[in-house]
Structure 1
């Protein structure tokens, strides 16, 4: 059970399948391996390896977060149980679970019970665990980067609509056949339907995609990748020979030459005029070698640097991007050599790189018909450092032309973990000034898409962020534009599937709209499926219109939102959210 809400169609219970990846490795084995790597500092080694991990104890099938490692406690240490008896951990596990502890000198893991786990216990409680009985859960970064492992995991976790439907029905049958569960529901005056909610939705028509040469219609999967590789782009750029450079190591020389030849070939149908680059071969793959090469080749005439890395390393990538963006102001395209080493895939990879480079140099790839005149579309999102050590970064983008293919961007720093943005007034002020510079007039309507706001923050966003935006208008004499503010929620538990033409259950097609029954009672909202999904069950995106000053018809706002999901230039198709939220 993921949620219970009073929706437009009544009281709704949202349920979904849940999976937990359990590894065969115990915490004891992980700590042993970690300590061998740092024999001089055992405490630091084991704590850095295990603290923060989620472990499962098979004797009671419960999961715990490891908050600490206690080195001065072992299985031979004593504790007092709930009956007031003092015993060792060895005796406890033998008496309670008939388990014989093998390593009597292993340290103990500590889990601090959270408030909801404490219930009526009042004071703080600690749970001590034996590493050899704790199995690790989740996937490591190494596992996530292994395509075969992730493919095998996906077969079990990404359920198709028929399989998901069967799991939900099984859950309902279990509840209905359980006497205690029926009594609890009866006490509340509730019954559980045997089938999920069935309702009618609408499917928006496929969109016409405008390239530089002609207009094409996206297929039923909202995909136009074939056309993107054949048609002339909306605004191609020119890469002058000798004014861009390809940097590579000696061992990647053959791969670099093959890539250049293929790159020149795929650029012709796109309308891009590309001359031959300068080649810069490095003797090794050291970070300072790449940084020095960028500084050495940089000049005001240099348009682009393509950097080919022999392997994927975050420190090397970060160093190159920092020097190129912050110090030199030079557009760069970083490539890992293995992605262009496969000759059978080289053309498709080179095409994607060509499209990215065209964008980075100020070109435009495609657009759609946007019937509204004088429209500015804005996107707002906040990035949070997963380590919680760095500041959060608020990003603001706004469209600068009628076709919504050119954008103004601004970033600002916030306190770590802070979601509500405080710098919107300055961001919108600068965006409007840039818009006026280009068009000699200001936009008549502004539609803002705000990503990352949860249900509990809707009122806060309405009361804190919208006033920042509207306060900007008074700084322009007699300027009173119409403003609509839409919150975009992609991390939702709702799943939808379709029954089309009697073919059984399948994923809802791109463009599917649901705006009744399972929507909120007190907010103007709708669900949109914009992307095509090949595996598992599609997740719709939830849009909540917090403020509607533009006054677009419901269908027109939904259509505008769907159009915007086609304009993310890293993918010739639709994505889950409007492009300004993904930029």
Structure 2
């Protein structure tokens, strides 16, 4: 598994230029560690032994099997196409800053030892580091004479051998009885590999890859993150603190966090540091937390059904403690449900002292057993799994939730908007926040970094970049517009390039006859938008999946009431595109191989259900360009099995989808495409080898099934927006303070040998813009850096929904829109075990109905 740039799913908290910027991906949740006092140093052995300790020899054969697994050959690097040249030359050279911090590697020891550790009995991942603290007190760690880094799961790295492991044949089991408990924990440690750190140094210098390069990056990342992961709340690859937490309402708050990871550059190593944001359940008493979720509720009264469901949605799965057993009682409970009645009316069978049984209420039990008189007996109880498949209930007022628990559910629209506003930072403010993060991480005083020979600068890197020339936009009668800072004005002189006749049309007004009462608390316009957002999916589902097929264009009342020429022109662009017309094109010689004809440009994406919607399938969408001017696109969608977090997101039915699109291209253009330029979104770098092996092959299979002699040249490019690379201008900047549209970087911080580049094609709207990273996995069209960069940038200027350059190529933007549209359709629900095409009316299949 490559560690060069693992996929990061931190929220899109800043840059909302793209249609899906408000998707409520709070973050990917790996584990949750409470704050610890230990500061990343091995603790000295206690004066008196803490609990009982046993050492048992390990099984040498098992250690050898693990070593063989580690030494199994892997894909060299990521399998991407090699860079075809020394980088691009087109555009005006500039210098920018980026949040990559240079790192010198001067290993104290040439070899780093990799160990595999198993903890039994198995515990939730969030407890692993707590138990690791106990193991650090043992002589097996202190005798090593060095600092040992742990990844929180199964990998341990040490600059020196752990003597006890090697003295026992490469594996040892250590049993520790936890202090104050009767539970015995067994740590099984096995030596699996020796990592040659010189291999990484040689790779940076010569480009010569060996297996040790991947292992070395992994070791450095574990050493880099060991201390902050041990001391702070960890979610995914980010650490969080409650400092400056901001209320998102509904029992949820936003925390600021820090993302940091080792990255390979061209002949250099860097640490990528960025600020992130995450949603957490608010801590505090259960009663107050429940009131923040259901503000109308009076704790002296029972909960109604709606409020109970809202509270249960937020708190189900969260851990809480109890107060009635004193401060020394540290046990945590996981809430699974709320009682339907209050503590005064929730009954259970209580075993009496004489062995009998009688029914008592929760209120009576706590009054008799703990002498606890409840102030809110009608408030509900928190339920946890009990014995013999029963539920144990705790009165809410005796419970409190600890802060720092990630909120794993989908944020509502109000919370998503609030989080985007709170997390958004202009470039200069983000630079200051990253500088604060560097102080928090405190690289200079991190003994683990020193032990592994890592010296990290606290200054951002200056990176050479270029500003690509923007193409001119051409309308009818030779009228042209020149983009400035990624956008251009629409005016009456700009007639659409290719009009169409609308033979019949109608307007339906969806509006309540009343005034949407409830005292107008949320305002007329806001309520109206809420009502329409029930209506919109129904309109689209009926119109686009019915047999006749109806083209529709929705508009909000608030927009119509404030309509102006600019809004009507944008609406007109969408209507014309849906009907098959052409708004504009780029001036001649702007689209290279596309303009020369016989080129199929494809955008593809796989989207998954929101957090908590486990029974919803994934949606694969594939969109293709079917003209020579970059405007007209058609799309296909299918349901496919949900892959789950971290799984490979392969489009399983890609051959059939591509055959359909190629056939439609031939029907429209009167010939087969001879070149295919495929832009694929939603793929992490660790998945590159699998995507390269399966999806490129699927495209070739589709062509072969059309005709065994049909072999178009294929270029396959992955588009990545979910990364933590940020650009900060030092001179040229747009109105938002970001780097200007057309900024491209293909040196210094890009891959040492593979064909990739960063392109910021759009102008900033708010916060710090997020550039797109383009990684070429496969290239039979023999693109140069200049050709592919300029073509990609120019394509971003032909988008039917606005007069701005997009942040990624339109075919991928359209794939997002089409996948989002598919979730409006009635048959999208339910699981599926195989790819299934989704119904679109035949009249609409080859139109841009999805814009």
**The two structures share one fold, judged by TM-score above 0.5:** yes
- In the other structure, the counterpart of 2:490 is 226
- In the other structure, the counterpart of 2:452 is 188
- In the other structure, the counterpart of 2:654 is 424
1:554-565 mapped onto 2 (5 Å cutoff): 554-565=785-796
Residue 335 of structure 1 aligns to a residue whose secondary structure is: coil
Uncovered stretches (5+) of structure 1, i.e. residues with no partner = 75-100, 112-127, 252-282, 287-308
Q: Does structure 2 conserve the Cα–Cα contact (< 8 Å) formed by 1:312 and 1:336?
A: no
Residue 434 of structure 1 deviates from its aligned partner by 2.2
- In the other structure, the counterpart of 1:483 is 714
Q: Does structure 2 conserve the Cα–Cα contact (< 8 Å) formed by 1:211 and 1:366?
A: yes
Q: Does structure 2 conserve the Cα–Cα contact (< 8 Å) formed by 1:499 and 1:506?
A: no
CA separation in 2, counterparts of 1:177 and 1:481?
51
Distance of aligned partners of 1:502 and 1:537 in 2 relative to their CA distance in 1, 3 Å threshold = closer
Among 633, 641, 664, the residue aligned to 1:407? 633
Q: Does structure 2 conserve the Cα–Cα contact (< 8 Å) formed by 1:6 and 1:521?
A: no
- In the other structure, the counterpart of 1:349 is 567
Residue 226 of structure 1 aligns to a residue whose secondary structure is: coil
The question of 1:245 aligning with 2:481 is answered no
Distance of aligned partners of 1:167 and 1:388 in 2 relative to their CA distance in 1, 3 Å threshold = same
- In the other structure, the counterpart of 1:94 is none
For these two proteins, the number of residue pairs brought into alignment is: 474
Give deviations 1:232-286, integer Å, cap 9, x for gaps: 112112234xx211112688xxxxxxxxxxxxxxxxxxxxxxxxxxxxxxx7999
The question of 1:455 aligning with 2:674 is answered no
The question of 1:496 aligning with 2:691 is answered no
Q: TM-score, normalised by structure 2?
A: 0.50
CA separation in 2, counterparts of 1:329 and 1:440?
25
Distance of aligned partners of 1:14 and 1:55 in 2 relative to their CA distance in 1, 3 Å threshold = farther
Residue 812 of structure 2 aligns to a residue whose secondary structure is: helix
Give deviations 1:150-186, integer Å, cap 9, x for gaps: 7xx63x522222222222223334544874x2x2221
Residue 429 of structure 1 aligns to a residue whose secondary structure is: helix
Residue 499 of structure 1 deviates from its aligned partner by 0.7
Distance of aligned partners of 1:53 and 1:566 in 2 relative to their CA distance in 1, 3 Å threshold = farther
Q: Does structure 2 conserve the Cα–Cα contact (< 8 Å) formed by 1:311 and 1:337?
A: no
Distance of aligned partners of 1:164 and 1:522 in 2 relative to their CA distance in 1, 3 Å threshold = same
- In the other structure, the counterpart of 2:74 is none
CA separation in 2, counterparts of 1:568 and 1:16?
31
The question of 1:551 aligning with 2:772 is answered no
Residue 197 of structure 1 deviates from its aligned partner by 1.5
Residue 39 of structure 1 deviates from its aligned partner by 3.4
The question of 1:17 aligning with 2:275 is answered yes
- In the other structure, the counterpart of 2:197 is none
Residue 53 of structure 1 deviates from its aligned partner by 7.6
Q: Does structure 1 conserve the Cα–Cα contact (< 8 Å) formed by 2:608 and 2:619?
A: yes
Residue 246 of structure 1 aligns to a residue whose secondary structure is: coil
Distance of aligned partners of 1:285 and 1:489 in 2 relative to their CA distance in 1, 3 Å threshold = farther
CA separation in 2, counterparts of 1:214 and 1:134?
66
Q: Does structure 1 conserve the Cα–Cα contact (< 8 Å) formed by 2:319 and 2:401?
A: no
Uncovered stretches (5+) of structure 2, i.e. residues with no partner = 1-257, 344-373, 386-394, 517-527, 815-851
Higher alpha-carbon Rg: 2
- In the other structure, the counterpart of 1:39 is 304
Q: TM-score, normalised by structure 1?
A: 0.71
CA separation in 2, counterparts of 1:214 and 1:450?
34
Q: Does structure 1 conserve the Cα–Cα contact (< 8 Å) formed by 2:703 and 2:710?
A: yes
CA separation in 1, counterparts of 2:456 and 2:569?
52
Distance of aligned partners of 1:178 and 1:54 in 2 relative to their CA distance in 1, 3 Å threshold = farther
Q: Does structure 2 conserve the Cα–Cα contact (< 8 Å) formed by 1:109 and 1:131?
A: no
The question of 1:172 aligning with 2:433 is answered no
Q: More deviation in 309-318 or 423-432?
A: 309-318
Among 312, 317, 322, the residue aligned to 2:541? 322
CA separation in 1, counterparts of 2:539 and 2:733?
55
Residue 390 of structure 1 deviates from its aligned partner by 2.5
Which is bigger in relative contact order (C-alpha 8 A, separation at least 6)?
A: 2
- In the other structure, the counterpart of 1:385 is 609
Q: More deviation in 400-409 or 471-480?
A: 471-480
- In the other structure, the counterpart of 2:591 is 370
Distance of aligned partners of 1:285 and 1:431 in 2 relative to their CA distance in 1, 3 Å threshold = farther
CA separation in 2, counterparts of 1:330 and 1:53?
46
CA separation in 2, counterparts of 1:143 and 1:562?
34
Residue 106 of structure 1 deviates from its aligned partner by 5.9
Among 528, 533, 555, the residue aligned to 1:335? 555
CA separation in 2, counterparts of 1:168 and 1:482?
44
Among 622, 625, 630, the residue aligned to 1:396? 622
Distance of aligned partners of 1:567 and 1:145 in 2 relative to their CA distance in 1, 3 Å threshold = same
Residue 457 of structure 2 aligns to a residue whose secondary structure is: coil
Q: More deviation in 44-53 or 514-523?
A: 44-53
- In the other structure, the counterpart of 2:740 is 509
- The Cα RMSD (Å) is 4.1
Give deviations 1:491-513, integer Å, cap 9, x for gaps: 1111111111699x942111111
Among 53, 68, 82, the residue aligned to 2:336? 68
CA separation in 2, counterparts of 1:65 and 1:575?
48
The question of 1:207 aligning with 2:468 is answered no
